[in-house]
Amino acid sequence: MTLSGGPFAYRPNSNEFIDPAAAVDVLRGVAEQLIAGQIVSILYGTTATIGEPADRVRFSDQRAQAVADRLIELGVPIPQLHVEGLGSDFPGYIVDRDDEGRLMPTAAALNRTVFIEFTAPVVCG
């Protein structure tokens, strides 16, 4: 499952959602399934190529943790959630710098995501 933009848009240079209530609304059904099925999930955070690589990993970890925190608030037990920041080194990375090294905002936005991998199927609705 990929969480990007819309209810999962973050404030600039932050791990805070622009609309936390909307993010929780989307995550509620996922949380219910995780709890009922005792499903373990790994939340991978990713970022655009802004800053140093180590900072990108740390920042992407914080964004993935923000999603995990919402799931915990919805009742998902902590042992069912694992968080990992990947920075901008991940499968599916979209080149977000032009030939002169300038950040391309649209491409960069596509790299600001949280991917959730589940140990069992869940229904997204």
**Residue 98 pLDDT greater than 70, yes or no:** yes
Confidence of residue 11 (pLDDT cuts 50, 70, 90): low
Three-state DSSP state, 15: coil
Q: Which two tokens stand for residue 112?
A: 């600001």
Compute CA distances 63 → 4, 17, 49, 68, 74, whole Å.
11, 9, 15, 9, 17
Beta bridge partner(s), residue 82? 42
- Per-residue pLDDT, averaged over 67-74, amounts to 94
Q: Which two tokens stand for residue 97?
A: 């710098």
* Cα distance between residue 120 and residue 37, in whole Å: 8
Confidence of residue 121 (pLDDT cuts 50, 70, 90): low
pTM: 0.85
The domains found in the chain, sorted by start residue, are 2-89+107-118 (3.30.1330.60)
Three-state DSSP state, 45: strand
- Across 1-125, where does the E strand assignment appear? 2-3, 41-45, 81-85, 114-118
